[in-house]
Chain A
Amino acid sequence: MKKVIATGRTIDDAVTSALVKLGVTRSQASVRVIREPVRGWFGILGARDAEVEVSVQLAPEDALREFLGGTLRRMGVEARIRTRVIEEEGRKRLHADVVCEEEDLPIVIGRHGTTLESLQYLANVVVNQGQDRFVKVVVDAGDYRRRRQEGLQRMADRAAVRAVRTKRPVVMDPMPAADRKFIHTYLQERSDVTTSSEGAEPHRKVVVVPVVQSGPPKSVSIP
């Protein structure tokens, strides 16, 4: 949703000037009158302009580009937003890739990806305003998500190997919920470890626990 507020001598004047600012026609927009105009004495004394808010429902891709581009510009980052629509199992997902200078990437991504996660969360809220079907938005920059996943897989593998070798639980470094979920799912493929989480946010950690066979294998008598 994109909104513009405009004033004018009459409601029509105000709406027209808002439509010009938005670059859309009247039929595409919806109008909300914030303040009725007052004529005043002889059109001078106590006269008050009309104030209206005109909004257009943007396509999700446009809303996403507008929000991310606008936010990043005000963060001091000149970025191009590349969007892709991914249809998966009948569900629509929007993928936005932030393309910017290498030196700006740390600002966009943040420590452990916190800024990227926040941008993505806000983008999800903004893009889905007034949409009847929820569109999931994924925001990435500098291929961070794939690189982070590979890094998490390596960390998980190392923790699992150590847990099995030492037969003791291994506590991993604190990480955000999304990363922990990824590790739980990833290690589920192994049958020699189980996982859980401990500690309070934001220091919550994954614990990798070896599956221990109770005692030596019993001799089984076959009848």
Chain B
Amino acid sequence: MTNIKELVEFLAKSLVEHPEAVKVREEQRGETTVFHLSVAAEDMGKVIGRQGRIAKSIRNVVSAAAYRQGKHVVVDIES
């Protein structure tokens, strides 16, 4: 079974300067699973990217993995 939370963590840790500061909190909101991703303040740009392109790519990859499990997920990046 795929662990979506681990996937979000892995993607974020691969991108940032401070992997030790990467935290992912999972929250169920009805049908949707929300993953709250937080990183070190100076790493925000590394997970968002120019015009949000990195964030969008993270969401696409995570949604593809979740889709297989019939889940609907949201990745929320918080500062």
Contact between B64 and A67, CB atoms less than 8 A apart: no
Evaluate whether A74 and B14 lie within 8 angstroms (CB atoms) in the complex, with A121-B53, A122-B54 already known.
Answer: no
B57 proximal to A (CB < 8 A): yes
- Complex Cα gap A37–B38 (Å): 26
- Give the residues in chain A near B15, CB-CB below 8 Å: 122, 125-126
Residues of B within 8 A of A5 (CB): 19-20
- B57 engages A74 (CB within 8 Å): no
Q: Which of B13, B49, B64, B67 has the most CB of A within 10 A?
A: B64
CB of B61 within 8 A of CB of A53, answer no
Chain B residues with Cβ under 8 A from A126's Cβ? 14-15
Tell me whether A74 and B2 are in contact (CB under 8 A): yes
A151 within 8 A of B: no
A115 and B11 within 8 A (CB): no
> How many angstroms between the C-alpha atoms of A115 and B57 in the bound complex?
8
Q: Hey, which chain A residues are within 8 Å of B53, CB to CB?
A: 121
Q: Would you call the interface of chain B mostly helix, strand, loop, or mixed?
A: helix
Interface size range of chain B in the complex: 20 to 34
* Interface membership of chain B positions 37-52, coded 1 if the CB is closer than 8 angstroms to chain A and 0 otherwise: 0000000000001000
CB within 8 Å of A: which B1-34 residues: 1-3, 6-7, 10-11, 13-15, 19-20
- Which residues of chain A in 162-214 are interfacial with respect to chain B, using CB atoms and an 8 Å cutoff? none
Q: Report chain A residues within 8 Å CB of B68.
A: 75-76, 107
From the candidates A34, A70, A76, A117, name the one contacting B14 in the complex (CB within 8 A): A70
Contact with A along B50-75 (1 / 0, CB 8 A): 00011011101100110110000000
Binding site for A on B (CB under 8 A): 1-3, 6-7, 10-11, 13-15, 19-20, 49, 53-54, 56-58, 60-61, 64-65, 67-68
User: Can you identify 7 A-B contacts, CB atoms within 8 angstroms?
Assistant: A3-B13, A5-B20, A53-B19, A74-B3, A75-B2, A75-B7, A115-B61
13 new A-B pairs (CB below 8 Å) besides A67-B14, A122-B57? A5-B19, A34-B20, A53-B20, A75-B2, A75-B68, A76-B1, A76-B68, A115-B61, A121-B53, A122-B14, A122-B15, A122-B61, A125-B54
